């Protein structure tokens, strides 16, 4: 399984680089949507570790994304003019790592005091947390306050985005399928029984939060350098809900399903542009119909199939 | 082996255990019976560290384990099979068993334990790759016990293993419990509502009522006790 997973990672990264090299042949709009899709895949797969595999209901993923996005962007803006052009990719990678790390710290900060809460209560607390983060960025002058950050260099491309997406899938899949990682599923299935086995459920929940938040932060960084503009409004709780919908629609804890749902739910609103004003109504209707007909998630393959990733 | 003294546990303002004391000798099967809400499950959860105690002490092999975190208690060789089977429904049978050996790092020991579990419950070997949630009730109970055995316990606590099982399966499970006790030399604390069967396989028994121990004696004597007979044995 490990080798198959590594092969998947290399193949996906190679493919992303090749597609990126040919990017001048593609329509810019489609390329932009493809990058949006990649970012959403990272967000959905990382949230799936928290909500799906570990069974914690977090509504604050946009908050972690915001921490990563603002950190990465600010880092780039501070260093941009001071280093030679060849250092750009280094700044970008360092910025993404820094953004992810800051988001992970935020995940730890929210995780430690709140993870003794369960279900609805945890959802409400994480929702509040996400809003707090947004408001902090909205009122901090250094981060552009309500007007947001502008002039962020356009460094995100297809290769970076999809390599990060592949890495996220790789890390989450390997983690969950490892002996250590089965603890996440055990905590999800039954906390008391997991505790009785000597598993520390609180530690697993915090680990899930920290890792999930890290990748959300990376996604935020990619987003910042893709849109070249960050405003606090983009990270409100509706964004968190969007990601939660991808996870639920794809099937909680089903990595493949969640990826497909992220792809579908990013492309769908774009594809529905032809319907102009009715677009979001159609989008919502489709989600309602999907949930009514497939409440267990759209793409719930057997776990055997899922493990090939 | 296990010495519980004046244990007190409460859920908020309600006292679930009102100062109970009990002791379990090495190699024995001791049973704890009582009706719903008497505090049987609470007692087990307090011993395995899943609940915090307000007063009293729990000692295991002479060591004070009161309010130790669960993973440290598991490390000492105390395994708990929770009520209602509580298997990990999304993991396979094999993965469930491996979770039982979570704290055991030595692969040889894990492998040896796995062989022992399969020898006791051959059915689990047949079902190794099946998702545990799809097992029958009896198989799930076997899995829950097998999973606890994977931790190489010296002391095993079983919470109502007969719950929701057909009479024939109950008999099988109880035979296995005796087998585990005899062949693996594991001391057992058995919580049951099925008092008849519990007294049959145990040497000593405690009767719990609303958080207090109202009777204790050798099982064969408890069985003849008129009070026990009318309240728990339906005689």
Residues of chain A contacting residue B151, judged by C-beta atoms under 8 Å apart? 197-198
Question: Of A230, A218, A203, whose CA–CA distance to A101 is shortest?
Answer: A218
Neighbours of B171 (CB within 10 A): 13
Q: Which two tokens mark A47?
A: 């949230």
Q: Please, what are the domains in chain B?
A: 1-77+154-160+185-235 (3.40.50.300)
Question: Of B101, B100, B102, B97, whose CA–CA distance to B123 is shortest?
Answer: B97
Task: Give the model's pLDDT for residue B213.
Answer: 92
Mutation target vs A (from B88, B103, B152; most A CBs, 10 A cutoff): B88
Mutation target vs A (from B89, B101, B102, B140; most A CBs, 10 A cutoff): B102
Task: Give the model's pLDDT for residue A289.
Answer: 86
Neighbours of B217 (CB within 10 A): 15
- Give CA–CA dist A287/B135, Å, rounded: 33
| Separation of first and last alpha carbons in chain B | 34
Out of A182, A190, A198, whose CB is closest to B95? A182
Task: Give the model's pLDDT for residue A2.
Answer: 65
In sequence order, the 6+-apart residues with CB closer than 8 A to the CB of B121 are B142, B143, B145, B146, B176
Task: Give the model's pLDDT for residue A114.
Answer: 78
Question: Of B38, B31, B23, B35, whose CA–CA distance to B223 is shortest?
Answer: B31
Which helix (H) or strand (E) segment holds residue B170: the answer is helix B167-183
Mean of the per-residue pLDDT values for chain B? 90
Residue pLDDT, tens place only, B78-129 = 999 988 768 898 889 999 999 888 888 888 889 988 998 999 999 999 998 9
Residue A166 CA neighbour count, 13 Å, CB half: 19
**Three state DSSP letters for chain A:** CHHHHHHHHHHHHHHHHHHHHCHHHCCHHHHHHHHHHHHHHHHHHHHHHHHHHCCCCCCCHHHHHHHHHHHHHHHHHHHHHHCCHHHHHHHHHHHHHHHHHHHHHHHHHHHHHHCCCCHHHHHHHHHHHHHHHHHHHHHCHHHCHHHCEECCCCCCCHHHHHHHHHHHHHHHHHHHCCCCCHHHHHHHHCHHHHHHCCCCHHHHHHHHHHHHHHHHHHHHHHHHHHHCEECHHHHCHHHHHHHHHHHHHHCCCCHHHHHHHHHHHHHHHHHHHHHHHHHHHHHHHHHHHHHHHCCCCCCCCCHHHHCCC
Check: CB of residue A67 under 8 Å from CB of residue A74.
no
Q: Which two tokens mark B48?
A: 């395995």
Task: Give the model's pLDDT for residue A309.
Answer: 33
Give B 127-156 residues with CB within 8 A of chain A: 131, 144, 147-148, 151
Collect the ranges in chain A with pLDDT lower than 50.
303-309
In this prediction the ipTM stands at 0.71
Going A180 to A181 to A182 to A187, the CA torsion angle's sign is positive
Q: Is A15 or B189 the better-scoring residue by pLDDT?
A: B189
pLDDT at B229 over 90: no
Check: CB of residue B60 under 8 Å from CB of residue B101.
no
Task: Give the model's pLDDT for residue A73.
Answer: 92
Check: CB of residue A24 under 8 Å from CB of residue A224.
no
Percent of chain B as helix, strand, coil, to the nearest 5: 40, 30, 30
Task: Give the model's pLDDT for residue A300.
Answer: 62
Q: Is B41 on the interface with A (CB under 8 A)?
A: no
pLDDT at B209 over 50: yes
Residues of chain B contacting residue A198, judged by C-beta atoms under 8 Å apart? 70-71, 74-75, 102-103, 151
How far does A184 lie from chain B, in Å, by closest CA?
11
Distance between alpha carbon A171 and the CA centroid of its chain, in Å?
A: 13
Check: CB of residue A62 under 8 Å from CB of residue A277.
no
What mean pLDDT is predicted for residues B24-41?
Answer: 91
In sequence order, the 6+-apart residues with CB closer than 8 A to the CB of A66 are A130, A133, A134, A137, A220, A232, A235
- Give CA–CA dist A140/A67, Å, rounded: 13
Q: Which two tokens mark B183?
A: 């062949």
Residues of chain A contacting residue B42, judged by C-beta atoms under 8 Å apart? none
How far does A52 lie from chain B, in Å, by closest CA?
12
Mutation target vs A (from B73, B90, B150; most A CBs, 10 A cutoff): B90
Q: Are strands B29-34 and B14-24 parallel, antiparallel or unpaired?
A: unpaired
Which helix (H) or strand (E) segment holds residue B201: the answer is helix B195-201
The helix/strand/coil state of B66 is coil
Task: Give the model's pLDDT for residue A286.
Answer: 79
Neighbours of B212 (CB within 10 A): 15
- Give CA–CA dist A95/A217, Å, rounded: 10
When mean pLDDT is compared over A152-156, B30-34, B36-40, the highest value belongs to B30-34
């Amino acid at each position: 399984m490990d080798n198959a997973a590594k092969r998947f990672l290399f193949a996906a990264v190679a493919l992303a680089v090749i597609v990126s090299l040919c990017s001048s042949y593609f329509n810019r709009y489609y390329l932009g949507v493809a990058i949006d899709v990649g970012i959403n895949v990272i967000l959905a797969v990382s949230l799936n570790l928290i909500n799906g595999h570990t069974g914690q209901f977090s509504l604050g993923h946009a908050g972690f994304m915001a921490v990563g996005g603002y950190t990465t962007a600010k880092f780039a803006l501070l260093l941009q003019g001071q280093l030679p052009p060849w250092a750009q990719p280094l700044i970008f990678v360092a910025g993404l790592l820094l953004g992810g790390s800051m988001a992970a710290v935020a995940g730890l900060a929210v995780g430690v005091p709140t993870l003794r809460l369960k279900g609805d209560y945890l959802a409400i607390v994480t929702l509040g947390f996400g809003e707090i983060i947004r408001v902090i960025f909205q009122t901090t002058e250094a981060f552009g306050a309500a007007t947001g950050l502008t002039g962020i260099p356009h460094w995100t491309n297809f290769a970076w985005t999809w390599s990060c997406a592949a890495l996220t899938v790789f890390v989450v899949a390997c983690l969950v399928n490892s002996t250590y990682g089965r603890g996440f599923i055990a905590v999800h299935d039954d906390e008391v029984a997991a505790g009785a086995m000597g598993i520390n459920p609180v530690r697993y929940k915090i680990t899930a939060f920290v890792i999930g938040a890290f990748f959300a932060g990376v996604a935020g960084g990619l987003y910042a350098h893709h849109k070249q503009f960050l405003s606090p409004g983009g990270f409100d709780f509706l964004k968190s809900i969007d990601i939660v919908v991808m996870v639920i629609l794809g099937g909680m804890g089903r990595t493949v399903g969640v990826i497909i749902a992220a792809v579908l739910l990013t492309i769908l609103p774009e594809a529905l542009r032809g319907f102009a004003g009715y677009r979001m109504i159609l989008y919502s209707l489709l989600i309602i119909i999907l949930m009514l007909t497939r409440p267990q998630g759209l793409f719930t393959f057997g776990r055997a199939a899922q493990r090939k990733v | 082996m296990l010495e519980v003294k004046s244990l007190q546990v409460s859920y908020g303002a309600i006292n679930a255990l009102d100062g109970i004391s009990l002791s379990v000798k090495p190699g024995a099967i001791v049973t704890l019976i009582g009706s719903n809400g008497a505090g049987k499950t609470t007692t087990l959860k307090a011993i395995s560290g899943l609940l915090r105690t307000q007063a009293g002490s729990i000692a295991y092999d002479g060591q004070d384990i009161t309010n130790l975190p669960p993973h440290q208690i598991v490390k000492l060789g105390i395994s708990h099979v929770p009520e209602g089977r509580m298997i990990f429904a999304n993991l396979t049978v094999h993965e469930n068993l491996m979770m039982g050996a979570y704290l055991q790092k030595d692969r040889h020991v894990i492998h040896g334990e796995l062989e022992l579990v399969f020898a006791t419950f051959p059915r689990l070997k047949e079902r190794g790759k099946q998702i545990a949630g799809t097992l029958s009730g009896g198989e799930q109970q076997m899995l829950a016990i097998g999973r606890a055995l994977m931790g190489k316990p010296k002391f095993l606590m079983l919470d109502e293993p007969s719950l929701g099982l057909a009479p024939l399966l109950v008999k099988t499970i109880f035979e296995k419990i005796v087998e585990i006790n005899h062949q693996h030399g594991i001391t057992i604390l058995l919580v049951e509502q099925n008092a008849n069967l519990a007294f049959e396989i145990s040497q000593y028994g405690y009767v719990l009522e609303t958080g207090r121990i109202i009777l204790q004696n050798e099982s064969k004597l408890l069985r003849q006790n008129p009070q026990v007979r009318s309240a728990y044995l339906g005689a």
